[in-house]
Amino acid sequence: MHWLPPNGALHGPAFDHLLGLNLAIVFWLFVAAQVLLVLALMRRGAGPNRGGKARRSLLIVDYVVLAGITGLYVWMVASSHRLWAASRESTVCSPGVQVEVTGVQFQWYFRYPGPDGVYGRTTPRLVSAPTGNPLGLDPADAHAADDVVTSILVVPVGRPIDLTLRSQDVIHGFFVPGMRLKQDAIPGMSGHLHFTAETPGNYVILCSQVCGLGHYRMQARLLAMPPGQFDAWLAARERALAAEAKP
């Protein structure tokens, strides 16, 4: 659909098709409701209804139409569920890329688990953005030493991405229109979101929940790049981390 932002995700065309289909169904239901309304008004204007015939037409308008619309909505839910569930299963096939997304008033942070593949422990009392530890990484945990924290979400194209969504304070809405992704980040819970980027480029990341006074400026950037370039980028970040850690 021409009025949607350009799509960069593998599941995008299926999502756009479903959106168009749902909008078309709702549009024609609206038109049908208006036609029924006008017909009912015209019949009422034609004079008093007569006994059994009026009851029969009421039965058709009330129950048959109601059953039809209920069936249609059930079908709409069932047909969209597969697409919805595919992006929210709790596991992702290897070699997937793991990234943790954390919403904080009013900023998004992204964490890569590093070569060990395990996210290090975080502790709320260690959270300190001014000293470069916005997620509260615990230095006592060995897994935390190689965790790369960034304010831009860099992903490779063609590889499945497994996002773990978290929030440090209030409910934030992780929203990437160009990747057809939208899922809330809820404090105390970690949700999953899967996708595969297909087109390299820059995509805007927004917050779709009104999360406070600075909500309007809660934006970040998703950068999709070829896999080789992504590996080089991550390796450079790891080297910088190792150099920083050396006394």
| 197 neighbors 7 (Cβ within 8 angstroms) | no
Is 207 one of the binding residues for Cu ion (CB under 5 A)?
A: yes
Could you say which of 211, 222, 224, 225 contacts Cu ion (CB under 5 A)?
A: 211
Is 218 one of the binding residues for Cu ion (CB under 5 A)?
A: yes
Burial class (CB in 10 A: 0-12, 13-18, 19+), 142: exposed
Which of 61-69, 131-139, 207-215, 228-236 is the region at the interface with Cu ion (rule: CB under 5 A)? 207-215
The residues that bridge with 181 in the sheet, in sequence order, are 176
- What's the CA gap between 206 and 223, in Å, rounded? 14
Q: Which is nearer to Cu ion, 161 or 218 (CB)?
A: 218
Site for Cu ion in 62-101 (CB under 5 A): none
Is 153 one of the binding residues for Cu ion (CB under 5 A)?
A: no
CA distances from 113 to 60, 116, 128 (A): 60, 7, 19
Using CB under 5 A, count the residues that bind Cu ion.
Answer: 4
Is 220 one of the binding residues for Cu ion (CB under 5 A)?
A: no
In 3D, which of 95, 129, 98 has the Cα closest to residue 113? 98
Q: How far is the CB of 132 from Cu ion (least distance, A)?
A: 22
Binding site for Cu ion (CB under 5 A): 172, 207, 211, 218
